[in-house]
Structure 1
Amino acid sequence: MTVVVNHHGVSAADVLTVARESATVSLSVDAIAAMTKSRSIVDSIERDGRPVYGISTGFGALANTFISPERRAELQHALIRSHAAGIGAPMPREVVRAMILLRIRSLALAHSGVRHIIVQALVDLLNHDITPWVPEHGSLGASGDLAPLAHCALVLMGEGWVLGKDGHRINGGDALMAAGLTPIELSSKEGLALINGTDGMLGMLILANDDLAHLCTMADVTAALSIEAMLGTDRPFHPSIHAIRPHPGQGLSAANIFRLLQNSAIMDSHRDDFEHAVQDAYSMRCAPQVAGAARDTLDFARGVAARELVSVADNPVVLPDGRVESTGNFHGAPLGFAADFLAIAACEIGSISERRVDRLLDVTRSRSLPPFLTPDAGVNSGLMIAQYTAAGIVAENRRLASPASVDTIPTSGMQEDHVSMGWAAAVKLRRVLDNLTSLLAVELLAAVRGLQLRAPLQPSPAGRIATEFVSLFAGRPGPDVFLAPILEHARATISGRDLRQALEAEVGPLA
């Protein structure tokens, strides 16, 4: 599988394919031609001796410092070395691969004035599975993701670190040599063009959008299973109810839950019971309102990412008419806002999920299920502490939902006096989504335990399929067992696609 990058950019699907499926990359002929034309403008500026930021001047607060022609290549190399100043644990391979592809995309838009051999060198990193060691801390989302991108560019120069197969770092020059690649020599403008842009935060946002889309569906699944186990009603999820409040995400989630609850002997057992058929708790009947609002937030974030994918976020930019202009397009505010908004939405999906878990475990509210979903409460504690774990994760997600993008710390001698913190917003969003996976895993286990304890009443076809999946690693309710491995299996079931595909084969596609 190969993703071809042309001078119009790439799609979100391309980013996912390269980042997560290790697709190879190539440059189109038109992209190479466009970059060559853009580079000719930089070369003409060099010949004319005009003072232009990033070509014949220093950077940031040093923008008024003139650099003589014989030192301009040195300037570009020094820029990369000084800006590769990150610290902390390495970013995951998928994030770095997404970031590199997006930098290729940015340069191939042909507004950066670099030689195409520089872009080909980035392509070679991806195609030889060389993943630069990019520390977690370093970007403020100011002139984009300067430090993370500099760590990638440093490897092109045969320096810096690369993420080894065993998780350890190895020398960048050694990694190039082992792959038969040669370090590159930068020319004027090229160092700056390699690091100025929003590629890191955009890559993480695209990955997060994909993850949250799946988790929204799985949240509908676990909600339906919990509602069925707690003898809830399917009436609040009927399409007519959501037609009168036409938020699109809400309608999709409600349709999922309604379909998953059909043909259930458990539901039929109390359908005409006044106590069970009037009003369920908010965490049950408002599930589509919360998950649906998250879906609508996701649509917003997808729109932001789609616009950024066709944007030129470099600085300065080389325009077709020969002008080289300084811009503020590198500022990460649009991406930071979107990531923060998604973190809030994902936090709430997890929060309402934990409330359903607590209700399932509470004998006073679970509608006759045994305490903590164990048949022999007292000697056994059942899922009591699994709910503690979920409560702790919800608390952490609430802290992480505090927006990063409202913060700013002036840098570069007050030249960069307002920064976006977009990288930080995207990093913590990934943590929130990982936590959400754990929360839905706890609910999956608790809901299935509840369905098992309703025997001999039979659950819906969806409930039966979920019970079969979970029973493979969790067995049936009984004496207490070591729960951590079971929860890890439940996490894998939530993040994976097998359960979802089995459910869709039974009830039809889930949104």
Structure 2
Amino acid sequence: MTGTNMTPHIGATLRIWKQLQELKKQTNPIILDGNNLDIASIIAVARHGIKPTISTDEHLAKRLELSVNTLADYLANQYVVYGVNTGFGGSADTRTSDILDLQIHLLQHTQSAIITAADKDPASNSEREPSHVMPPAWVRGAIVVRANQNLRGHSAIRFCVLQSLLDLLHHDITPMIPLRGTISASGDLMPMSYIAGAIAGNPDVFVQVGKGKDARVIPASEALKESGLSPSGLGPKEALGLINGTAPSVAVASLVLYDVQKLALLAQMLTAFASECMGGNVEWAQPFIHAIRPHTGQIEAASNIRRFLNGSKFVDGLESRKRTGEGLWQDRYSTRTAPQWIGPYLEDLLLAQHQLEVELNSTSDNPIVNAAEHGGGEVYSGGNFQAVVVTSAMDKTRLALQMIGRMLWSQVTEIIGPHTNNGLEANLNPSDHENYTMKGIDVNISAYMSELAALAHPVSAHVMSAEMHNQGINSLALISARRTLEAADLVAHMSACHIYVSCQAVEMRANHIRFLSALNEKLKSSTSDGAMRDLGLDAAQIEALAKSLEPLIESTWYHWNSNTWKERIPYVVDAVMSPVTDFLATSEHDCSVSMLAAFKKHFRTVVQDTADALFYPSPTITPAEVAAQLGDGSAQLYTWVRSKLNIPLHCGLKDDPLYNARQGLPTDNKKTIGSRVSAVYESLMSGEMMDMILDGLDTGRSFPDVCFSCLAPK
């Protein structure tokens, strides 16, 4: 999947991932110049502690100086400049000559949101009250974005002030920013005002110093002093230039979008996995279908799903075609129309990514300075702080998440339900006793879906006029980004459920196939222990009868799936009696009633013994055997869960820690189902699982080779 074979969405996602891997190795430094900041760099700074620097290019320093000088010339001419010698927003009809104090006025009225005592002392929050401050990663992202935007030289901010922003990152000083209180209209004034307050040394602006258990929360003034940094004095427009922009919104949006791009890729892989779980007829992924409706997202989704299904022994319709047979002839919508369902949103996500990448290297401020080399520059008032481009990107992204989640929800509920999963036991119970194994997940994923659907509504539809009706329209971009982050987390919850359920389902599917294959061999056997021994048939007759019974046995076995595997056996035995009698009559074979009775008894014993030997509580099919039959995509997920995470097939009460404790049995490696799904979720959210998948795509193979030895019983 490298080079010209790379599909657009995977290509874009892989590009960010590859850049991030290099940045994490610190082989490529992050050098800010106002023009080349990318999403990978934001992630590296925000989540991985990589320290950016400012370019030493003399032209950059020169344009910053020209910007400051142009504003100075304006003021020397006693021109009116918004926010420099006027009031702010709806108060811009006031004038002042106290231009330095005016910048303090600006910070004073914007540093007005809520941070609680518990936020400043997390160790005291044993009741785990919700935080009122932004996660540190968001703040670090906002700092690097704002520095880059201001470095473009249109904001009349001195180099030393912008360096002071990066000094915070280099000394692990993270301002505490209230979570709520911005409408992202005149930029994210409130959040950025706390960052500006930190570099200015405000003693009532608090910062976190350090990370992890060594982290402390202290006043900004103390943190600067401890670190040997001097507070930044703020010139005539420098407070305004620092806060009047989109940096917090686009930083959070960039973090979220990268996560969503990976979830969209995973959803396509999970669709392939679901098809295998349900033994699908995946001719719906054939290229011809999508070539004649040539939407790029649809074509890509179908191509990706085909690639993830490559080599699968559990589906028909790609390497082989299903031409005859009984039952549901085409797969249900949740898999069959997945390319058409998810495809348009792959296109939307690519557009959202483009919008953010442009915004990262744009001037977001007001007023803005058009500096000139030899004087004569201009200062303009405009609206480049309006963050609707971020709102647009996030509202699209959140709707994409809702659509992806709805597809995953349908797939999971169909895999769990006996009426839709093509023959697997209800609730995916592999034991010989009634259990409700996946019933809780069936409920949980509906709860996640309901919450996800509630988040899908456009945030932009809830704009309220603000600030003396000066901000009559405002973007709500950071709110949209926050809601999108919540939606992404819900889809990650749903994906973890899907992965866990699919591993259970495909292992059960493989075991049923193994059982039916073993039973068929005994049907065809003409030896004394063969299933037909009491009918007095010769080898040719046994083979002919077995061939006619095989599809009936399979369809009957899969039909009676509402309870345990053990309860299917009588139905299979009863189902074969009529066709056996008909065969004997048609072939004019002399067979007494007692012989038929003996056959029925022996056949039941053969079915029972075969099932007893292959289904739980006997040793079931090995994970290595299962992985060898899976497609390229699901084989990796299944192997990761079974070997890396060491999560086994769940077999009912005997795997429950409380049951074992009450029976006086060992509880080692006995976990609740929730703990198992949580392990999958944590692996997904840590990035390890997606790193494995993306690494396989990057190497030019479909995926890394499956380590079958890793799946050996431990």
Q: Shared topology, TM-score over 0.5?
A: yes
Matched, 1:114 2:284: no
Q: 1: distance between equivalents of 2:467 and 2:438?
A: 52
SS of match in other structure, 2:478: helix
Q: 2: distance between equivalents of 1:258 and 1:366?
A: 21
CA contact (8 A) 1:453 1:477 kept: no
Matched, 1:274 2:329: no
Structure 1 residue corresponding to 2:172, chosen from 106, 110, 129: 129
Residue of structure 1 equivalent to 2:186? 143
Mapping of residues 36-435 of structure 1, within 5 Å: 36-68=65-97, 71-87=98-114, 89-159=132-202, 160-164=205-209, 165=211, 166=213, 169-267=217-315, 271-275=322-326, 278-320=329-371, 321-376=376-431, 379-435=434-490
CA contact (8 A) 1:215 1:494 kept: no
User: Structure 1 counterpart of 2:460, which letter?
Assistant: S
- 273-282 vs 388-397, which deviates more? 273-282
Residue 453 (structure 1) shift? 0.2
- CA displacement 1:358-410 (0-9 Å, x = unmatched): 11111111111011111238742111111211111111111111111122212
SS of match in other structure, 1:54: coil
Residue 341 (structure 1) shift? 1.3
User: Structure 1 counterpart of 2:630, which letter?
Assistant: S
- 187-196 vs 85-94, which deviates more? 85-94
Instruction: Specify every segment of 5 or more residues in structure 1 that has no aligned partner in the other structure, as ranges.
Output: none
CA contact (8 A) 2:280 2:314 kept: no
- CA displacement 1:13-53 (0-9 Å, x = unmatched): 32222223322222223322211110011122232322211
User: Structure 2 counterpart of 1:372, which letter?
Assistant: N
User: Structure 1 counterpart of 2:651, which letter?
Assistant: G
- 77-86 vs 216-225, which deviates more? 77-86
Q: 1: distance between equivalents of 2:278 and 2:172?
A: 49
The structure-2 alpha-carbon separation of the partners of 1:378 and 1:329, relative to structure 1 and needing over 3 Å to count, comes to: farther
Residue of structure 1 equivalent to 2:684? 494
Residue of structure 1 equivalent to 2:43? 16
CA contact (8 A) 1:197 1:314 kept: yes
Matched, 1:468 2:639: yes
SS of match in other structure, 1:474: coil
User: Structure 2 counterpart of 1:365, which letter?
Assistant: T
Larger Rg: 2
CA contact (8 A) 1:106 1:313 kept: yes
Matched, 1:442 2:497: yes
- CA displacement 1:401-449 (0-9 Å, x = unmatched): 1111122212221111111111111110011011111111101111111
Residue 118 (structure 1) shift? 0.8
User: Structure 2 counterpart of 1:422, which letter?
Assistant: A
SS of match in other structure, 1:135: coil
The structure-2 alpha-carbon separation of the partners of 1:197 and 1:373, relative to structure 1 and needing over 3 Å to count, comes to: same
Residue of structure 1 equivalent to 2:584? none
Q: 2: distance between equivalents of 1:434 and 1:180?
A: 39
Q: 2: distance between equivalents of 1:237 and 1:9?
A: 39
Q: 1: distance between equivalents of 2:199 and 2:696?
A: 46
CA contact (8 A) 1:387 1:442 kept: no
Q: 1: distance between equivalents of 2:414 and 2:239?
A: 57
- 164-173 vs 411-420, which deviates more? 164-173
- 303-312 vs 260-269, which deviates more? 260-269
Residue 309 (structure 1) shift? 2.4
SS of match in other structure, 1:454: helix
- CA displacement 1:64-111 (0-9 Å, x = unmatched): 21111xx22111122113212233622122211111111101110100
Normalising by structure 1, we get a TM-score of 0.94
- CA displacement 1:270-312 (0-9 Å, x = unmatched): 9455346831100011122222222111011012112212321
Residue 501 (structure 1) shift? 4.6
Q: 1: distance between equivalents of 2:458 and 2:326?
A: 42
User: Structure 1 counterpart of 2:471, which letter?
Assistant: E
Q: 2: distance between equivalents of 1:58 and 1:506?
A: 59
Q: 2: distance between equivalents of 1:330 and 1:357?
A: 43
- CA displacement 1:470-489 (0-9 Å, x = unmatched): 22432113024401221111
User: Structure 2 counterpart of 1:286, which letter?
Assistant: T
User: Structure 2 counterpart of 1:64, which letter?
Assistant: D
Higher RCO, Cα 8 Å, sep 6+: 1
The structure-2 alpha-carbon separation of the partners of 1:406 and 1:416, relative to structure 1 and needing over 3 Å to count, comes to: same
Residue of structure 1 equivalent to 2:556? none
* Root mean square deviation of aligned Cα: 2.2
CA contact (8 A) 2:192 2:242 kept: yes
Identity of aligned residues (%): 28
Q: 1: distance between equivalents of 2:478 and 2:248?
A: 7
The structure-2 alpha-carbon separation of the partners of 1:397 and 1:35, relative to structure 1 and needing over 3 Å to count, comes to: same
Instruction: Specify every segment of 5 or more residues in structure 2 that has no aligned partner in the other structure, as ranges.
Output: 1-25, 115-130, 514-625, 657-671, 705-714
- CA displacement 1:311-359 (0-9 Å, x = unmatched): 2120001112421111011112221122111101111101110111111
Q: 1: distance between equivalents of 2:311 and 2:83?
A: 67
SS of match in other structure, 1:90: coil
Equivalent residues, number: 508
- 166-175 vs 289-298, which deviates more? 166-175
CA contact (8 A) 2:435 2:652 kept: yes
SS of match in other structure, 1:266: coil
CA contact (8 A) 2:84 2:102 kept: no
The structure-2 alpha-carbon separation of the partners of 1:55 and 1:460, relative to structure 1 and needing over 3 Å to count, comes to: same
The structure-2 alpha-carbon separation of the partners of 1:77 and 1:118, relative to structure 1 and needing over 3 Å to count, comes to: same
- CA displacement 1:110-139 (0-9 Å, x = unmatched): 000111111010011122221111111011
Q: 1: distance between equivalents of 2:339 and 2:84?
A: 54
- 90-99 vs 351-360, which deviates more? 90-99
Q: 2: distance between equivalents of 1:140 and 1:207?
A: 19
Q: 2: distance between equivalents of 1:335 and 1:377?
A: 54
Q: 1: distance between equivalents of 2:200 and 2:695?
A: 48
Normalising by structure 2, we get a TM-score of 0.68
CA contact (8 A) 2:402 2:456 kept: yes
Q: 2: distance between equivalents of 1:465 and 1:210?
A: 21
